[in-house]
Structure 1
Amino acid sequence: MDFNNILFEQSGNIAYITINRPTKLNALNKATISELNDAFSAAEEIEDIKVIILTGSGEKAFVAGADISEFANFSVEEGQQLAAEGQAKLFDLVANFPKPVIAAVNGFALGGGLELAMAAHFRIASDNAKMGLPEVSLGVIPGYGGTQRLPQLVGKGRAMEMIMTAGMIDAKQALEYHLVNHVTSPEELIPLAEKIAGKILNNSMVAVAAAIKAVNASYDNTVNGFEVEVEEFGKAFGTEDFKEGTSAFLNKRKANFPGK
C-alpha cells in the first residue's frame, strides 16, 4: 500500500503503522487521519495480521500534535465537525479495533498525538518520550477524546492538572501515572513491542478480540459491561479456538488455535 504520510508494513502476523511526517514532527492533519483510517481498515481485512504496532518515524516524535494551520480559522460548526469526524474516522476506530493495537511512543506525544496513543489498547514509551495535552494554551480543549480517555487512564485529578496546566510529563511520570505500561530505550522500543506482541500471538485471537470488546464496554455508559462480558464469555464456548484451547490444556500440549 502506498501512502504519502504514513508507512504500512507487515512482518509475519504484525502490521507496523508509522506516521511519517518527520519535517512536521509527525503532526496529524486531515490527510494523515484519512490515511490512518485506510491503513487500519486494511489491517482489519488482512487475515494474517493479528497485532498492530503504531509508532512515529524517527526518535523525536510519535505525533507532536495536530496540524494547527489547518483549523486556525475554523468556525464553531467547523470545529465541532473536525472533532466529530476525527473521532469517528480514527480515534474511536483504534479504540474499538478488534485486533490489539500497541502504541510505541517515541519522543513527543502531544495533543492529538497523545490522544491517538491513548486510543490504542495500551502504550509503551521510549525514555525520551514527553506527553501532554497543551490545547488550552491555544484557547481550545482536547477534541479527539483526550478529556475522556486521560481521566480513565490516570485519574480525574491528574488529568485535570495535565489538561489545565497544558504541561508535559516525561516517560518516568507517565509510567508512574499508569499512562504507559513500560519504558525502555529508543533502540529497544520496537523490539519490546514485538516481544509483547509475540506473547499475545500465543493466545486465541478470537478470545482476544472478545476481551477487547468486553473491556471497552466498561467505559461505555450506554451498555452494561458485565452483560457484555457474560455474552462474550458464552460465545467463546461455540468457537473452534475454545475446543482447541481446552483440548490442548487437558492433553498437556501447546494449543494451535485456528482463529475461528
Structure 2
Amino acid sequence: MADSALKVWRDRDGKLLRLRLSRPKANIVDAEMIAALSKALAEGSSDPHVKAVLIDHEGPHFSFGASVAEHMPDQCAAMLKGLHALVIAMVEYPVPILVSVRGQCLGGGLEVAMAGHMMFVTPDAKLGQPEIVLGVFAPAASCLLTERVPQVVAEDLLYSGRSVTGEEAVRLGLANAVADEPEAAALAWFDAGAAKHSASSLRFAVKAARLGFNERVKAKIAAVEDLYLNGLMATHDAVEGLNAFVEKRAALWEDR
C-alpha cells in the first residue's frame, strides 16, 4: 500500500512491517505524514505475526523536521496533539521499531526516530533539535533525549540546537549502530535476532524492557505540551521566531 506521504508493505514473509517516508527530499513530518504513520502502525500492531517494524526513507534525508507552518499559534495545538499521539504509540509499540537514517534527521523527524526502539545511521548523518534557533523548544525531544542520553548531553543538544554526526550519535548513545547502509544493517539485525524468535514472547520482552520508561515519557509529554501551548506560545519571541523563519528574515528578539 502507498499514499502520498508513506509507502507501506510487508517483508520477511510478513514478519516485518516496512514503512518508508516518501516525500523527498525534505520528508516533512506534517499532519499528513503523522496520520499516515499512525494508521500504518495501528494496523500493524493488530497482526500477531509481526515481529518488528522498519522505518526508512526515500531521498537523501530522513526528514528536515516538522512543518513550521503547523507550528504557528492557530495550528500548533492540533499539530502537537497528533505528533505526540504518534510518539506515544511508537514508545508503547508492542514490537521493536527499527529506524534507518541517512542525511539530515532534524526536529520532528528526530523526535519520530527517537520514539522508535533502535536507530541505525550513516557515519555522516546529521541529527539535531534546532527548534531553539526558531525561538521555540522541542517538546517530545525534551522527554525522549533525556531517556536515551545523559542529561548533560540532552541539555547541550536542546539548548544549542546543534547537530551531531551519525558517528557521534552512536558514541553518545543516541543511535544504536553506524553503517554505510543503515537499512541493510537494520535488516541484518532483524534476520539475526527478532526473526527467529516467537512473536508472542518478543512482545512480552518489549513490554518488560519498557516498564517505567513508557510511563515516564507519557507523563513528561503531557507536561511539556502544556508548557509549550500555555507558556511558550504566549510569548512574543516564540511567535516572532516562527514568523521570521516563514518570512525568511532574521528574528528580532525582545526577550519576552
8 A contact 1:125–1:182 mirrored in 2: yes
Alpha-carbon distance in 1 for matches of 2:56, 2:186: 10
8 A contact 1:10–1:49 mirrored in 2: no
Q: Give the match for residue 206 of structure 1.
A: 200
Larger radius of gyration: 1
Q: Give the match for residue 237 of structure 1.
A: none
Cα distance, 1:218 vs structure 2: 2.3
The alignment of Structure 1 onto Structure 2 pairs a total of residues equal to: 214
Q: Give the match for residue 192 of structure 1.
A: 185
- TM-score when scaled to structure 1? 0.77
Q: Give the match for residue 144 of structure 2.
A: 149
Q: Give the match for residue 86 of structure 1.
A: 83
Q: Give the match for residue 112 of structure 2.
A: 116
8 A contact 2:103–2:126 mirrored in 1: yes
Q: Give the match for residue 228 of structure 1.
A: none
For 1:16, the aligned partner's letter is R
Unaligned runs of 5+ in 1: 224-260
Cα distance, 1:221 vs structure 2: 4.6
For 2:3, the aligned partner's letter is F
Q: Give the match for residue 64 of structure 2.
A: 64
Cα distance, 1:82 vs structure 2: 2.6
Cα distance, 1:81 vs structure 2: 4.0
Alpha-carbon distance in 1 for matches of 2:64, 2:9: 22
Cα distance, 1:124 vs structure 2: 0.9
Cα distance, 1:4 vs structure 2: 1.1
Unaligned runs of 5+ in 2: 219-256
Structure with bigger RCO (C-alpha 8 Å, 6+ apart): 2
Cα distance, 1:194 vs structure 2: 0.8
Q: What is the aligned-residue RMSD (CA, Å)? A: 1.8
Q: Give the match for residue 135 of structure 1.
A: 131
Alpha-carbon distance in 1 for matches of 2:178, 2:106: 17
Q: Give the match for residue 22 of structure 2.
A: 20
Distance 1:134 1:195, change over 3 A: same
Cα distance, 1:95 vs structure 2: 1.1
% identity of equivalent residues: 23
Please list the CA deviations of residues 214-247 of structure 1 after superposition, one character each: whole Å capped at 9, or x if unmatched.
2222222599xxxxxxxxxxxxxxxxxxxxxxxx
Cα distance, 1:80 vs structure 2: 3.8
Distance 1:99 1:222, change over 3 A: closer
